[in-house]
Structures are given as C-alpha cells and as structure tokens.
Amino acid sequence: MIPAKNHRLRSIGFALLLLSSQHLALASGPARDAASAPTVSTQNIVDLTHTLTPEFPYIPVPGITFPFKATPIATIPTMGVAANKWEIHEHLGTQIDAPSHFVDGGTPLDQMPVRNFIAPLAVIDIRDRARRDADASVTVDDILAWEAKYGRLPAGAAVFMYSGWEERIHDAAAFINAEGPTAAGELEPTMHFPGFSPEATAFLASERDVVGIGVDTLSLDPGKDKQYRAHKSWLAAGKWGVECVANLGKVPASGATVFVGATKVGGATGGPVRLIATFPSAAQSAIAPTLTADRLVGNWKSPAPESAGPGAFTTREFQFSRDRWRVEARFYGDQAARTPLFAFVAEGPYALQDTSSQVEGANDAVFSFDRKTLTLLTSDPATLRRFGFDGCGLKEGTPTDISANGCSFFAPIAHCQQEHDLVQLEGDDLRLGMRPADRNMCAPAKRPKALGAPLVRLAGTGEPS
C-alpha cells in the first residue's frame, strides 16, 4: 500500500529463473552441507501474481496515487520493434514493501538480502471470519492455531494471510471498500478489508524467524487502520511485506515455497513483484478447500433425470454469475424425459458463507429470490389436477409469473424470500443441499444436513480466467 510518496519508473524489468529441474537445493551465503540444505519441489507451480492493468484497484490518495498506464512508444509495423512506456508508482498491483517504505533510514528494496526472497510458505486461512467481518485480522491466536496443526513456523518462513478478498478483484470499489469520499483534512478514505494485527506482526518479528508476510488485500494492515501499526512494527524489523497476492487457495497451508521476484531499482521503497509458489504433490492435502463465486460462474445441469416423487422426474440446470443465480427445473412423467409436464424457474442474488459445520467440504450459502415463473408443458388437464395447478391460470407453453401469489406447493416470494442451502464444488461436479421432506429451507435451522445428486458443468461455461 502507499499512503504518501510515489515514484514513476520509466522502466522495470526482472526475471526469475526457477524451473531448471524437478527439485533444487537452496544455498546462499556460507556453504551449506548438502544434507542440511532445504529441498524445493517444482512438481506443482502456482502464480501468486495478479496481472497489472489500468483497472487494477489501488488506495486512492488524491494527488499522489494513480492507476497504471501503458503507452506504446514503438511498434513492430512502424519500427520493427515493440515497446511501451509505463506510468506507475512503486505500490501498484501485486507488489512488495521494503523497510524504507515506512522507516526513515530503513533498508531500500535493492539492498535487501536476496536469500530472504526464497522462503518456506505458511498460509493462514481467515476466510470464514473475513466473510462476516471486513475488518478481520490475523491474530497471534491464528498463528498459534496454525502451528498446532502444522508445527512451528520453519526458519526463514514467509507467512501469508488468505482472507478470500481476491474474489472482489474484478470490482475495484468492492476491493477498496471505502466508506465514502476522503474526509476533509485526511489523506485517504476509511477503508474496510482484512490485514495483520499489529500484535501478530510484533509476535512474528520477535518470537519467530520469519522474513516476510503477505496479504491478498491492498495493505498489510486492516483497511481501517490509518496509523499503519502492522506496517510500522513489521518493516522496522527489516522485513518485507507483499500485498495483493493472488491464488492463495491453490497452494497448501504448509509445505510450499514462495519465490519473490522483486524489482531491483536503486533506493526503491517497493515495487511490482512476480510471486511464484512451488510445492510437492504430497503437500496438496494441506490445500484449504476453496469456494468462490468465480469458481461457480457457468451453467450446471443434472447428468440424467432424477426422481421427484411417484411418477415424476426432474432435470435441473443452474446458471451462476458472480452475484446472481438462476435455476430451471423441468419435470417429466417418465424417466426417459419424453413426457414433459411443467418447468419451474427461480432467480435472484446469492451469497456464499462460512464452511459448513455439518457437511465436510461444503459451504453454507443463501439463495434469495426476486422472480419465480411456472410454465405448463402439456395440455393434459390431469396434470393440472395432479399437481394442484388448476387454480393458477397456467397456459401451455406460456411462462406465468408466480412471484406474488405462488402456485400449489411453489410458495410466493413473500413467504420465503431466501433459502439456506449447502454448496460443494469438486472439480466439475457441483452439489447442493438435499431438500428436506417438507421442502422448507427458509431459515438457517432448516439448512440441509446432506448433499444432493451432483450437477455437471456444461461445456464452454467454465470458470473465468
């Protein structure tokens, strides 16, 4: 993050040479005995870096910060070579803070020990808390809980916060999450996003051998902390911090190594970084189950008709955007789906919540309604009587809006404005909660206790890049 000065860099270039073999031993400074040198696996490689574009969020400081801009200064058609001019300050995108960023006389980025840019990675998952409280922070208790599960933080480690805030990256206003315009006399607005507590950074600096910390938000501090207490206590210890880290849900909580490809500009207080994590396949079991709206985006359908009671079968197709859902359930009189009866459609906003305390690997979710329709797909009057539709004014082939009044066992929206459900995503299989016998999921206590049949992702509707 940047609360004050900026630097425009005419050019920034760096390279990280990494993948020369499946495993490599790390050694720098004094020679190490081969048996004691740590081994790094490159069986799995994850890019922890966001692509920097003019739309990338940044802390708005009037007259100081500004968006990234790239302008062509040479093109292949005109000059036979392509090159761009960058307009940038040091603290944009996935970037690093050096001690000199907050400490007068602190070490600038180009003078930090290179050995500290390769580190065992510990990922502390606070997503559940961050969903409930945008001001959540990594605490000393979180660190001790991680150690209780995985062992003491390794020497020379980097500790990264995984809050799930990355899900907002496509919406700059939501990612910054400011209360409003900057108040008179203040340098920047009051923001709300997770970070490290100053007690946690002080603990890591004094009680553990940690070289750097990282966050998936704009600042090492929670957004509301305008005193930057975590920044100051951490950077004063000669450590580095990285911000706007990507893809932490794709690396294990323990067992990975992070490579920090820091720029080397004389006197820099920070700069863009290319973060890369590597880990052995054996560590994959420590990857936290991650469910984000981005991963749900697409269309999901029943692979085959499912039983919906005596003599009735249904197929379900769900459509998810990042903030809305839609389901079309088509009902048939036979398992081969040759005798269509009716189709029910519901849609509205949705929200993913905490990991489920009832079903392992699932998340709680709330699906809200703002429209329901029912379409009769047969002219058989017996179908109307069988399902109690004869008083609903349905016409074959014509969708009827039942949002206000409902129809038979389909309740009006006012009677149940949202349903409390389960969501589990494994590969291209999506499972929602198994609806209870009374069909009532209108309160948290009525949330299903088991998962239903899987839905499969339809081709061409995969999660966005």
Res. 42: pLDDT tops 70: yes
Mean pLDDT of 104-115: 95
Q: What is the mean pLDDT of residues 9-19?
A: 35
Low-confidence winner among 7-11, 63-67, 351-355, 360-364 (lowest mean pLDDT):
7-11
Q: What is the mean pLDDT of residues 410-432?
A: 91
Q: HSE of 369 in the Cβ direction (CA atoms, 13 Å)?
A: 24
The secondary structure of residue 463, as a DSSP letter, is P
Structure confidence at residue 437 (pLDDT) = 83
The continuous run of DSSP H or E covering 382 comes out as helix 381-387
pLDDT-based confidence at residue 465 (cuts at 50, 70, 90): very low
Dig out the tokens for 249 from the structure. Answer: 């849900």
What is the overall mean pLDDT for the chain?
87
Query: In percent, how much of the chain has pLDDT > 70?
Result: 88
Q: Say what the pLDDT of residue 5 is.
A: 36
Please give the residue that has the higher pLDDT: either 464 or 256: 256
* pLDDT for the residue 176: 94
Residues 263-299: tens digit of each pLDDT: 999 999 999 999 999 999 887 766 655 678 888 999 9
CA distance 302 to 454: 7
Query: Could you tell me the two tokens for 450?
Result: 């088991």
pLDDT higher than 70, residue 194:
yes
Model confidence pTM above 0.85: no
Q: What is the pLDDT of residue 26?
A: 46
Q: What is the pLDDT of residue 348?
A: 96
Q: Which of 179, 241, 252 minimizes the C-alpha distance to 216?
A: 241
Query: Can you give the pLDDT at residue 10?
Result: 33
Q: Is the pLDDT of residue 12 over 60?
A: no
DSSP for 231-268 reads HHHHHTTT-EEEESB--GGGSBSSSEEEEEEE---TT-
Nearest C-alpha neighbor of 455 from the set 296, 295, 303, 298: 303
